[in-house]
């Protein structure tokens, strides 16, 4: 009899579960949505690892656009760190060789990024660095705050950008707020060495951007 009773109970339980299947599905989706919303708000979702730059190994690799850019880059120095004492900014700099938007977005999760087709340190032209900015009270990934406060810089404030061997010091010329659709930042200017910092004016929006322009005033070896 006990076996029969158990079987009856299992059948009734299965019938009940089937009867409320839609209520269960709705409840599950609501709980899942709320959980994901909270995790996204507090930036608790793990970041994807930054992609690595492939090393050319064959003739076809050397003829690819990314490899050409990488070899052209040997004529200058890749920036690795940026420091702006006036606003307490210190960040690492990545140097991707692809202009693919998704690739650049991944690098932005680790700090500042040099736009691949802009000048390198030591070259005449414009070194363009961009990064996230966020003024949310809680941000798990601090890379979202990389360029916080650059809009508060003043003419004459100093920016130092380091390579593996040298330190380059720039003085701020202008700080502007521009529409993101107003045009591309120029890669070359007047035969001098320039630096541009750019960031969106608010978190997760691209309607406007803050742009800081600076000119090289001095460089020296790290050992000096």
In the predicted structure, residue 9 carries a pLDDT above the cut 90 = no
Q: Helices 21-41 & 2-19, crossing angle to 10 degrees?
A: 60
pLDDT in tens, 104-116: 999 999 999 999 9
Q: What is the pTM of this model?
A: 0.64
pLDDT at 73: 42
pLDDT at 91: 96
Q: What is d(CA 169, CA 224) in angstroms, rounded to the nearest whole number?
A: 14
CB 84 within 8 A of CB 171: no
Instruction: Give the residue with greater pLDDT, 56 vs 123.
Output: 123
Q: What is d(CA 83, CA 92) in angstroms, rounded to the nearest whole number?
A: 9
Q: Which of 56-65, 68-77, 146-155 has the lowest mean pLDDT?
A: 56-65
Instruction: Give the residue with greater pLDDT, 68 vs 25.
Output: 25
pLDDT in tens, 180-207: 666 567 666 678 999 999 997 555 455 6
In the predicted structure, residue 15 carries a pLDDT above the cut 60 = yes
In the predicted structure, residue 223 carries a pLDDT above the cut 90 = no
The residue with tokens 């340190």 is 121
Question: What class, spelled out in words, does domain 59-221 have in CATH?
Answer: mainly beta
Token pair in block for residue 200: 């969106």
Nearest partner of 162 among 216, 212, 117, 222, judged by Cα: 222
E strands along the chain, which residues?
Answer: 81-84, 89-94, 112-114, 125-130, 158-162, 166-179, 193-200, 208-221
pLDDT at 209: 85
pLDDT in tens, 62-108: 344 444 344 334 478 999 999 999 999 999 999 999 999 999 999 99
On the 0-12 / 13-18 / 19+ scale of CB atoms within 10 A, 81 is middle
pLDDT at 8: 63
In the predicted structure, residue 18 carries a pLDDT above the cut 80 = no
């Amino acid at each position: 009899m006990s076996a029969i009773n158990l079987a009856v109970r299992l059948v009734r339980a299965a019938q009940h579960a089937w009867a409320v299947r839609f209520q269960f599905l709705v409840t599950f989706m609501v709980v899942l949505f709320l959980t994901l919303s909270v995790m996204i708000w507090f930036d608790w979702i793990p970041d994807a690892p930054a992609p690595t730059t492939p090393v050319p190994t064959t003739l076809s690799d050397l003829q690819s656009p990314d490899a050409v850019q990488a070899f052209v880059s040997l004529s200058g120095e890749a920036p690795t760190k940026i420091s702006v004492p006036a606003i307490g900014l210190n960040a690492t700099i990545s140097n991707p060789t692809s202009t693919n938007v998704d690739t650049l977005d991944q690098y932005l999760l680790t700090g500042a990024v040099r736009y691949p087709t802009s000048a390198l340190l030591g070259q005449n032209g414009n070194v363009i660095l961009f990064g996230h900015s966020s003024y949310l009270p809680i941000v798990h990934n601090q890379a979202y705050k990389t360029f916080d406060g650059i809009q508060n810089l003043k003419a004459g404030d100093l920016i130092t950008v380091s390579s593996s061997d040298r330190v380059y010091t720039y003085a701020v010329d202008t700080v502007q707020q521009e529409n993101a659709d107003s045009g591309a930042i120029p890669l070359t200017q007047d035969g001098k060495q320039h630096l541009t910092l750019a960031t969106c004016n608010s978190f997760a929006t691209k309607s406007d951007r803050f742009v800081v322009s600076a000119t090289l005033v001095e460089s020296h070896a790290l050992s000096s």
